[in-house]
Amino acid sequence: MALEQAAKLELVKRAAEVRQFAYAPYSKYQVGAALLTTTGKIYTGVNVENIDFTDGNCAERTAVFKAVSEGERSFTAVAVVTSNGGTPCGSCRQVLAEFCEDMAVILGTPDGTILRETTLSALLPEAFHPGQYQLP
């Protein structure tokens, strides 16, 4: 599904708006994410750090977990807003792939500028997908 420019800009805007709520006292790297479902709803998330670093959570995964907790299971696009156009980390990429084999990934800045557009499959080729492997 190709997203119209207005939808892309709205996702970046929503990600930029929530980015201010990121809890990043250690890295100082605030991230906001906005996730578009196939039903048209948008779920947002921010990164939440912890002194133990491994116990923190990324913005993209926060948005996915919020959406899943409200019954959503299928996604169309995610916008990620950082200070420098950073892409989702490997863990976020795999979590997104759990629910969508491919989706638009829009990278933006806090002022709402779209820096780059790519796809989940370009960022995570040959991802693990449900049903791809038979569990015992």
User: Tens digits of per-residue pLDDT, 13-59?
Assistant: 999 999 999 999 999 999 999 999 999 999 999 999 999 888 999 99
Using alpha carbons, select from 39, 23, 7 the residue that is nearest to residue 108: 7
C-alpha radius of gyration, the chain, whole number: 14
Give the pLDDT of residue 29.
97
Residue 77 belongs to what H/E stretch? strand 75-81
Q: What does the domain layout of the chain look like in residue ranges?
A: 5-123
Is residue 118 predicted with pLDDT exceeding 70?
yes
Q: Is 117 a catalytic residue?
A: no
Per CATH, is 5-123 categorized as 3.40.140.10?
yes
The catalytically annotated residue of 60, 70, 98, 126 is 60
The distance of Cα 80 from the centroid of its chain, to the nearest Å, equals 6
Is residue 135 predicted with pLDDT exceeding 80?
no
User: Tens digits of per-residue pLDDT, 62-91?
Assistant: 999 999 999 999 999 999 999 999 999 999
